[in-house]
Amino acid sequence: MRYYSTRNYNVTASLADAIFKGMAPDGGLFMPERIVRLPKAYLNNIGGMSLQEIGYALANFALSGDVEADALHDIVYDTLNFPIPLTPVADGRYALELFHGPTMAYKDVGTRFLGRLMAYFLQRQPGARRVNVLVPTSGDTGAAVANGFAQVPGIHVYVLYPQDGISYVQEAQFASSGSNVTALEVRGTFDDCKHMVEQAFMDEDLNRQITLTSATSINIARLLPQTFYYFYAYAQLMNISHEAASNFIIAIPSANLGNLASGILARRMGLPVKRFVSVENVNNIFYQYLNTGRFTPRPSVYSIAPALDAGNPTNFARITAMLGDVQQVREVVHGYSFNDDEIIQTITQVNQEHGYTLDPHSAIAWRGMEQDLQPGETGITLATAHPAKFPQPVEAAIGHELEMPLQLVRFLRGTRHVTTINSGYNALRNFLLQ
Ligand SMILES: *Cc1c(COP(=O)(O)O)cnc(C)c1O
């Protein structure tokens, strides 16, 4: 199948080109030319399938012309080697726990799949140059990408992060990942890191000498596997109640709208979700768009849900490519925005009333779901991170300490390798070429 650019339907690429380029040459985002609609019979039987079985079947529908069946089977089964349970929290309200992967955040699904798919294409081109993945991070993305690509042959990952800008646990999650991951501590801010990476991608001379690629959610291969868990949530809901499965909504904590774009893709494939609730923190660009019809990026501000601090949601073009104008978007997506106090309040309240602990990102989505639910509807909130990843706000909200899960402790025990470089593009360029 070909992948077209959201800026121009006639600019297309193969799957391999789309994933190694990341962004289309005209600055658009790649989208599949055809979105396969799943047969009704398949959806009716989905309740009996495991997460991996669903993932493999969906991957086959989307990628069978581009990836051999055996290899695709291994890529999917290896990506999804952790559970994604639909956990009942309150009457008619569930959390889809996407945080049982190696870095305990939802990005594990997309990055593990992307890493394995890139490795597959590299293995089929003997003599291919090493591919260098550059990731600026304020915490979570770097950890997920480093772990998604750790030990993947032919690929080296450089994680750029602000000195003093992230926690010790976050740094440990990528600085101890392995020999093909370099942790680059930058004497500057997160914005400096982002700029340095952007300049590297634009430096034609550098790009002739080494192969660079990106692993953010602009990469279509991160979005496809995220459709798997939407269908798996539906399968689990069917097993609980057919009635609930015929009348449900899904709430998502949104930043760059990657998760929302995957959800809409799943709906186009036939997921019978009534609508999505997209919930932002005070960086509410998409919420403003839903209200006013105008999409106006602006610099982001810090919050206690840091993975939502995005000022220019990159996947916006995909949302409108799939749904149309703002009127049509509003029919499928409702938007909300909450501040830090409201996040804390929600964590406290859900903990007291239901004995369930949400992380700040999941709490935002939960609050939006509660406000949007209509009588008779069932609500699913995507729980995108484990609460122990954000101990300070969560412990303050629930009034007691959280236990550190083994997965996170393991990172703290690993040997950390860090290189410190100056802020500014030259420091990065010199480091990459040395
Ligand atoms: C990245 C992230 C999000 C936001 O997802 P988008 O796809 O960028 O909208 C939400 N929660 C957590 C924990 C994340 O790491």
Could you tell me the CATH number of the domain that includes residue 277? 3.40.50.1100
Residue of minimum CA distance from atom 15 in ligand 1 = 307
CA 402 to ligand 1 centroid distance, Å: 22
Residue 140: CB within 6 Å of ligand 1?
Answer: yes
Could you tell me if 131 and 207 are in contact, meaning their C-beta atoms sit under 8 angstroms apart?
Answer: no
**Residue located nearest, by CA, to atom 10 of ligand 1:** 253
Q: How far is the CA of 307 from the centre of ligand 1 (A)?
A: 5
Look at residue 138 in the predicted model and tell me its pLDDT: 79
Positive or negative CA dihedral for 17, 19, 20, 26?
positive
DSSP sequence for 157-200: EEEEEETTTS-HHHHHHHHTS-TTEEEEEEES-HHHHHHHHHHH
255 lines ligand 1 (CB under 6 A): yes
Ranges of residues in the chain whose predicted pLDDT is under 50: none
State in Å: Cα 206 to ligand 1 middle. 31
Tokens of 35: 């979105």
Check pocket membership of 122 for ligand 1, CB cut-off 6 A.
no
Question: Residue 105 carries which DSSP code?
Answer: B
**52: which DSSP letter?**
H
Q: Whose CA is nearest to atom 2 of ligand 1?
A: 307
Give yes or no for a contact between 86 and 54, defined as CB atoms under 8 angstroms apart.
no
Amino acid at 403: E
Q: Please give the number of the atom of ligand 1 that sits closest to the Cα of 385.
A: 13
Task: Determine which residue's CA is closest to atom 1 belonging to ligand 1.
Answer: 307
Contact 189, 164 (CB under 8 A): no
pLDDT at 419: 94
| 253 phi, psi to nearest 5 deg | -80, 120
pLDDT in tens, 35-88: 999 999 999 999 999 999 999 999 999 999 999 999 999 999 999 999 999 999
Sign of CA dihedral 393, 398, 404, 405: negative
Q: Which residue has the tokens 């093909």?
A: 180
Distance of CA 433 from the midpoint of ligand 1 (Å): 32
- What is the number of domains present in the chain? 1
pLDDT of 166 reads 82
Burial (CB count within 10 angstroms: exposed 0-12, middle 13-18, buried 19+), residue 292: exposed
The predicted pLDDT at position 300 comes to 85
Would you say the CB of residue 279 lies under 6 angstroms from ligand 1? no
The predicted-structure confidence for 93-139, as pLDDT tens digits, reads as follows 999 999 999 999 999 999 999 999 999 999 998 888 899 999 998 77
378 C-beta closer than 6 A to ligand 1? no
The DSSP secondary structure of 259-305, one letter per residue, reads: HHHHHHHHHHHT-----EEEEE-S--HHHHHHHHS----------SS
Query: And the tokens for 327?
Result: 């009127």
Atom of ligand 1 nearest to the CA of 259: 7
Residue with CA at minimum distance from ligand 1 atom 3: 307
CB atoms within 10 A of CB 83: 11
Q: Is the CB of 385 inside a 6 Å radius of any atom of ligand 1?
A: yes
Question: Which of 106, 230, 252, 390 most suits a substitution to test ligand 1, by most atoms within 8 Å of the C-beta?
Answer: 106
**Atom 14, ligand 1: residue with shortest CA distance:** 307
State whether the beta carbon of 162 lies less than 6 angstroms from ligand 1. no
Give me the helix-helix angle, 258-269 and 316-323, nearest 10°. 20
CA of 262 to the centre of ligand 1 (A): 12
CA distance 223 to 83: 19
Nearest CA to ligand 1 atom 8: 256
Centre of ligand 1 from the C-alpha of residue 308, in Å: 6
- Give the C-alpha distances (Å, rounded to integers) separating 186 from 182, 191, 419: 12, 11, 9
Assess contact for 283 and 300: CB atoms under 8 A: yes
Ligand 1 mean position to 133 CA, how many Å?
A: 20
Cβ of 223 below 6 Å from ligand 1: no
Say how far residue 101 (Cα) sits from the centre of its chain.
13
Ligand 1: centre distance to CA 261 (Å): 12
What pLDDT shows up at residue 410?
83
Full residue range of the structural domain in which residue 72 is found: 1-434
Angle between helices 226-240 and 258-269 (to 10 degrees): 60
Q: How far apart are CA 112 and CA 106, in angstroms?
A: 11
Ligand 1 binding pocket mutation candidate from 107, 279, 315, 319 (most atoms within 8 A of CB): 107
The candidate with the shortest Cα–Cα distance to 383, out of 144, 110, 106, is 106
- Report whether residue 264 contacts ligand 1, using a CB cutoff of 6 Å: no
The three-point CA angle 403-52-359 to 5° equals 25
- The model carries a pTM of 0.95
Distance 229 CA to ligand 1 centre (A): 15
